[in-house]
A and B are shown apart, each in its own frame.
Chain A
Amino acid sequence: MSIIWTNWKLVQLWGKRSLSIAVMMLVFLVAFGAGEGSLFFLFCLTVACPFSGVHSYVGARSFSFCLPGYRGMLRKMVLTDAVLGGVAFAVFGALVPGERIWPLVGLNAFAGFFVGFVFFLLIATLALVPSVMAPAVEMLLSIPSSIAVLVALGVIVLCPWLFWPILILMCIAVSLFVWIRLCDAQDVTHAHRTMIVDRLRQKLGQMGEAKVSSPWVDRLFLGRMTGPGFLQAGRWFWGSLYRTFGLVLSAWKGILVAIIGGTVLLGYAGETTQWQALVALGLAALKVKLPIVSNMLLPEGRREKQRAVVGAAAVTIALLVGIASLVVVLSWCLAPIMPHPFGRAYVGVNPRNIYLASVVIPWILLLQPIHYGVRSLVWKNVLRVTAILMVVTAFSDPQVCRWMGIARPVFFGIIFVLGWVFFLTLLRHVYLRGHLTT
């Protein structure tokens, strides 16, 4: 039990920011009646994945091999999560008024941990996350390729008809498969360790020497930086943008492919999902690391750093709103030419929703200065919960607006302005009184 407990602590440390947002989102989506299929996959991605990730990560570390009962350790961990998660969500399902039946919600959550386990392995492998890739690839390789292809094809073919009975049958099948095949850690390790180590070493070697940004990005930012005189505002402003967005912009081809792919799918998703997807675009700000503090000393005073960070935050909004605009334009260009599979029409994204991401971004960015600027744990948590609530509330906009009886523009205006007020106030506090080191 001690290893399971340790892993639970790790889950808390690892994912306390993203996980808490995810759980709050789920709670609201359940409460306000999200689609059952989408809810299930959201659960797998946002809750089950981080839990399973930590378990498989810890299970594959060297020290774990010395522990008694190592072979069945992963089984115990995933099962513990599944039972606890299943019971918790079943209770929640019973409390939420509606047509949903509580054992179904519980079963969904239970199976979600097993499906989430597979999801995690896929995500870690596809995302090339070095620290978790080894155990993920190791376990994925133990899946016979024929079964993997069959499951993938099944999910793709059955996707339009996914509903509870089929979903539950699939969950049970996946759960059994995970239990028998993937959670036998010893079997997996013995079979694949040498192969994985070699492959991973080769991959990491390539990554070490890889070209990490495009020459045009370097030219763009360094050119702008050298424009203004030394020690002038423009230099540190462009410098902070280079530092924050240089890598992201270098991957513009990948981003463009993701935008086109996302737009193709979004056209078939329906108006509500389109709306939620544009709000969710704001969550990409979680990946923006503002240069609030740094141990690397550059000739920027506290005031200059503050201005540069505000600039980077504003550019984050501009970039994400730009992406939203691109999605909207692209969807309208695609609408006349896209086919109608299974009788489902392709609908362009409503241009009036372009601004949606900008509403949640200040609240997402607020989480960063909280870490450095607030000493009181109570205040830290109050601010975190406020930020999460605001993001979730923005997601549940129609219901909240109906409940509050105010118009959507007013509601979103309030969230947007409050977000900036909180963000700027806290940032000012950090630069007036805070420590500027990590």
Chain B
Amino acid sequence: MSSDNPMVQIRGLSKRFGKIRALDGVDLDIERGRIIGLLGANGAGKSTLLRHIIGLYLPDGGQCTTLGCDAGQLSPAELARIGYVHQEGELIDWMTAAQLIRYVSVYYPTWNKELEERYVSEYEISLKARVGSLSPGQRQRLAILIAICFEPELLILDEPAAALDPLARAQFLDLLLHLIQDQNRTIVISSHILSDVEKVIDHAVIMKAGKIVADASFDELREKYSRVRLTALSGSLPESLDFANVLECQRNQSAATLTVADLSLDQIEAAATKISCQAEIQPLPLEDIYRVVVA
């Protein structure tokens, strides 16, 4: 991804925690208006990267520029344009939900009271309950609410749906789809629930061991990787399936399923015809793309 004026620009970002290298020379541009899925296994460096973007962590090497400023020196004016939901759901436990919402709202000139009331009602947030006594799911809903009600330009969601039940997750996805309608908003979402993420993202960044192993639009990834179901027209498949860039192969006597990369439809069909097979081409779901890329 490259742009003249990205929301976030990261160059050669490195971070160590003792002996563990959490980030290893990460380069990334996040363009305005994008919905980016940050994917990776536990410990891949996703949360560390997100915390650098908002200046909670300072890098050991490299540079992270957010909204045109060094992320470590973001001023209140820039921070007021960024919303952040973190996986731990840490809030101010002694306040009631109503007090917390009021407290946070006072900081933001752009706080949308209507939006607040709508989400309080939709998310069934108990305003009188003490934050410390809320269940993890309710806390997470509250955290999401206070991160979106000031309508941030850059919304960073670090495992936002981890503590939510299936219904709440569906609601959350609806909310994201609603937020996406604002063309000017940039959202970075890190999640393990890839089936949910793929409904909303238009760009995927996949991390492994502190490095970015894939950084491409979701459409590009779906074009790059395909699943090909081959059925033999003459009874049985040949011993060798003459396909280039095969990443995975499962086969029996008469049929095979291949995962291939960088092959066009014409190339696949030509190769299938050559071995007297019928080819059915399907795009890979994000979960499989992730698995293939990480592998």
Interface residues on A, range: 35 or more
Q: In the docked arrangement, what's the CA distance between A300 and B79, Å?
A: 7
Q: A242 contacts the other chain (Cβ, under 8 Å)?
A: yes
A169 to chain B, nearest CB (A): 44
Residues in A neighbouring B130, C-beta threshold 8 A: 207-210, 212
Q: CB distance A208 to B129 under 8 Å?
A: yes
A214-249 vs B, CB cutoff 8 Å, 1 = contact: the mask equals 000010001001100011000110010011001100
Checking A208, A211, A236, A438 against B133 with a beta-carbon cut-off of 8 angstroms, the contacting residue is A208
Q: A144 contacts the other chain (Cβ, under 8 Å)?
A: no
Besides A207-B130, A296-B86, 13 other A-B contacts (C-beta < 8 A):
A208-B133, A212-B95, A212-B130, A222-B103, A230-B80, A231-B107, A296-B90, A297-B56, A298-B104, A299-B79, A301-B76, A302-B72, A437-B57
Q: Given that A210-B130, A242-B103 are known contacts, is A230 also in contact with B109, CB under 8 Å in the complex?
A: yes
Q: B83 contacts the other chain (Cβ, under 8 Å)?
A: yes
Residues in B neighbouring A212, C-beta threshold 8 A: 94-96, 99, 130
Whose C-beta in chain B lies nearest to the C-beta of A437?
Answer: B56
Q: A294 contacts the other chain (Cβ, under 8 Å)?
A: yes
Q: In the docked arrangement, what's the CA distance between A235 and B88, Å?
A: 26
Residues in B neighbouring A211, C-beta threshold 8 A: 96
Q: CB distance A296 to B91 under 8 Å?
A: yes
Q: CB distance A302 to B73 under 8 Å?
A: yes
Q: A295 contacts the other chain (Cβ, under 8 Å)?
A: yes
Q: Given that A247-B94, A297-B84, A437-B57 are known contacts, is A209 also in contact with B128, CB under 8 Å in the complex?
A: yes
Q: CB distance A246 to B95 under 8 Å?
A: yes
Q: A435 contacts the other chain (Cβ, under 8 Å)?
A: yes
Q: CB distance B102 to A218 under 8 Å?
A: yes
Q: CB distance A207 to B133 under 8 Å?
A: yes
Residues in B neighbouring A218, C-beta threshold 8 A: 99, 102
Q: CB distance B106 to A226 under 8 Å?
A: yes
Checking B80, B88, B95, B96 against A295 with a beta-carbon cut-off of 8 angstroms, the contacting residue is B88
Q: CB distance A438 to B72 under 8 Å?
A: no
Residues in B neighbouring A438, C-beta threshold 8 A: 88, 90
The B-contacting residues of A in range 277-300, CB under 8 angstroms, are 294-300
Q: List 19 A-B contacts (CB under 8 A).
A: A204-B133, A209-B128, A211-B96, A212-B96, A212-B130, A222-B103, A225-B106, A230-B109, A231-B77, A246-B94, A298-B79, A299-B79, A301-B73, A301-B74, A433-B58, A434-B58, A435-B57, A436-B56, A436-B57
B131-151 vs A, CB cutoff 8 Å, 1 = contact: the mask equals 001000000000100110000
Residues in B neighbouring A397, C-beta threshold 8 A: none
B227 to chain A, nearest CB (A): 40
Q: In the docked arrangement, what's the CA distance between A438 and B88, Å?
A: 10
Q: A184 contacts the other chain (Cβ, under 8 Å)?
A: no
Q: A213 contacts the other chain (Cβ, under 8 Å)?
A: yes
Q: In the docked arrangement, what's the CA distance between A204 and B130, Å?
A: 11
Q: CB distance A300 to B76 under 8 Å?
A: yes
A180 to chain B, nearest CB (A): 38
Q: B277 contacts the other chain (Cβ, under 8 Å)?
A: no
Q: In the docked arrangement, what's the CA distance between A231 and B81, Å?
A: 12
Q: CB distance B76 to A299 under 8 Å?
A: yes
Q: CB distance B106 to A304 under 8 Å?
A: no
Residues in A neighbouring B96, C-beta threshold 8 A: 211-213
Q: In the docked arrangement, what's the CA distance between A299 and B133, Å?
A: 26
Q: In the docked arrangement, what's the CA distance between A133 and B48, Å?
A: 38
Whose C-beta in chain B lies nearest to the C-beta of A250?
Answer: B94
Whose C-beta in chain A lies nearest to the C-beta of B128?
Answer: A209
Q: CB distance B106 to A435 under 8 Å?
A: no
Q: In the docked arrangement, what's the CA distance between A211 and B75, Å?
A: 35
A60 to chain B, nearest CB (A): 21
A228 to chain B, nearest CB (A): 11
Residues in B neighbouring A301, C-beta threshold 8 A: 55, 73-76, 79
Q: In the docked arrangement, what's the CA distance between A235 and B58, Å?
A: 25
Q: Given that A208-B133, A296-B92, A302-B73 are known contacts, is A213 also in contact with B107, CB under 8 Å in the complex?
A: no
Whose C-beta in chain B lies nearest to the C-beta of A230?
Answer: B109
